[in-house]
């Protein structure tokens, strides 16, 4: 088992070199876009009825597509995207400028384990397809809980590897390609949430051939 430092370096290197072409990859279509749509559906169901603005932090935001989609939607979200790879944040800023929503989005280069925000800064934290890169997953969930306001929600999406399709896709193929990653089973994710003090924990599995798991918890 490599150290946490090595695991993070591998992830940073992978995404620094992928940043420019990330949005054109097939994975973007089959894994990432369904995740953004799922977040929008969840947020619409939860905050769609109210015009009251809310603060959303997207961890491991990649090229900032979720932020851009939110800025173009009717949801009154104030979005901060955070990513460890500076190249991903740069592409995210360029995308926000092109979509004329740069004034509504902010991108920060930082590590998900050490969130550079005060306690209780956000109403929602989202994180999609990034959690399997984190060497200290429980620590990340704890820090997310810290930056959420009481009643706020964490929406976490990552590969579902608890059935045979998911096991082949994530534990065999993606792990062989990305080298040092860890897709936690649902039971472990539930335990992370519970240990960090989240309540009302629920899950939704979606996307048959590239199965994904959404876990939601309330702070
Ligand atoms: C597969 S991309 C997912 C991007 C986006 N959330 C999506 O669903 O398209 C994973 C992202 O997680 C970021 N990442 C990996 N380790 C990280 C860490 N320790 N802290 C913050 N971001 C990290 C990578 O730089 C990359 O942009």
102-120 burial: b if 16+ Cβ within 10 Å, else e: bebbbbeeebbbebebeee
The predicted structure's pLDDT at residue 27: 86
Distance CA 72, CA 199 (A): 31
Distance CA 18, CA 67 (A): 19
Cα(134) to ligand 1 centroid in Å equals 9
Atom number, ligand 1, closest to the C-alpha of residue 85? 25
Residue whose CB lies within 8 A of the most ligand 1 atoms, among 65, 84, 210, for a mutation test: 84
Distance CA 165, CA 59 (A): 26
For the chain, how long is the longest CA-to-CA vector?
Answer: 48
What are the CA-CA distances from residue 195 to residues 11, 57, 161, 219 (Å)?
A: 26, 21, 22, 12
Answer yes or no: is pLDDT of 1 > 80: no
Distance CA 51, CA 209 (A): 36
Distance CA 155, CA 219 (A): 11
Answer yes or no: is pLDDT of 177 > 80: yes
Domain of residue 164 covers 4-218
- For the segment 168-179, the average pLDDT, to the nearest whole number, is 91
Cα(47) to ligand 1 centroid in Å equals 25
Each residue of 32-85: pLDDT tens digit? 999 999 999 999 999 888 889 999 999 999 999 999 999 999 999 999 999 999
Residue whose CB lies within 8 A of the most ligand 1 atoms, among 37, 133, 140, 180, for a mutation test: 133
Q: 88 CB less than 6 Å from ligand 1?
A: yes
- Could you give the number of structural domains in the chain? 1
The percentage of the chain sitting over the pLDDT mark of 70, rounded to a whole number, equals 99
Q: 54 CB less than 6 Å from ligand 1?
A: no
- For the segment 179-192, the average pLDDT, to the nearest whole number, is 94
The predicted structure's pLDDT at residue 29: 86
Q: 126 CB less than 6 Å from ligand 1?
A: no
The predicted structure's pLDDT at residue 3: 76
CATH number at residue 92: 3.40.50.150
| 3-class DSSP assignment, residue 186 | helix
Distance CA 23, CA 37 (A): 15
Distance CA 119, CA 142 (A): 11
Torsions phi, psi of 210, nearest 5? -125, 70
Cα(110) to ligand 1 centroid in Å equals 11
Answer yes or no: is pLDDT of 104 > 60: yes
Q: Which of 179, 68, 177, 62 is nearest to 127 (CA)?
A: 62
**Tokens read off for 50:** 């109210």
Q: 79 CB less than 6 Å from ligand 1?
A: no
């Amino acid at each position: 088992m490599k150290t946490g430092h090595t695991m993070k370096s591998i992830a940073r290197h992978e995404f620094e070199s992928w940043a420019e072409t990330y949005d054109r990859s097939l994975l973007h279509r089959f894994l990432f876009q369904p995740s953004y749509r799922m977040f929008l559906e969840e947020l619409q169901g939860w905050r769609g009825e109210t015009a009251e603005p809310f603060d959303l932090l997207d961890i491991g935001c990649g090229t900032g597509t979720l932020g851009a989609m939110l800025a173009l939607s009717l949801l009154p979200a104030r979005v901060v995207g955070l990513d460890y790879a500076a190249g991903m944040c740069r592409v995210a800023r360029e995308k926000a400028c092109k979509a004329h929503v740069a004034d509504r989005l902010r991108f920060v280069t930082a590590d998900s384990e050490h969130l550079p925000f005060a306690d209780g800064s956000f109403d929602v934290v989202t994180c999609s397809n990034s959690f399997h890169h984190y060497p200290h997953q429980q620590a990340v969930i704890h820090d997310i809980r810290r930056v959420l306001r009481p009643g706020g929600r964490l929406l976490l999406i990552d590969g579902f590897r608890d059935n045979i399709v998911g096991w082949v896709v994530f534990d065999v193929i993606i792990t062989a390609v990305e080298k040092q990653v860890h897709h936690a089973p649902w039971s472990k994710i539930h335990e992370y949430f519970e240990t960090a003090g989240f309540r009302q924990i629920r899950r939704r599995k979606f996307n048959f051939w590239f199965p994904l798991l959404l876990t939601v918890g309330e702070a």
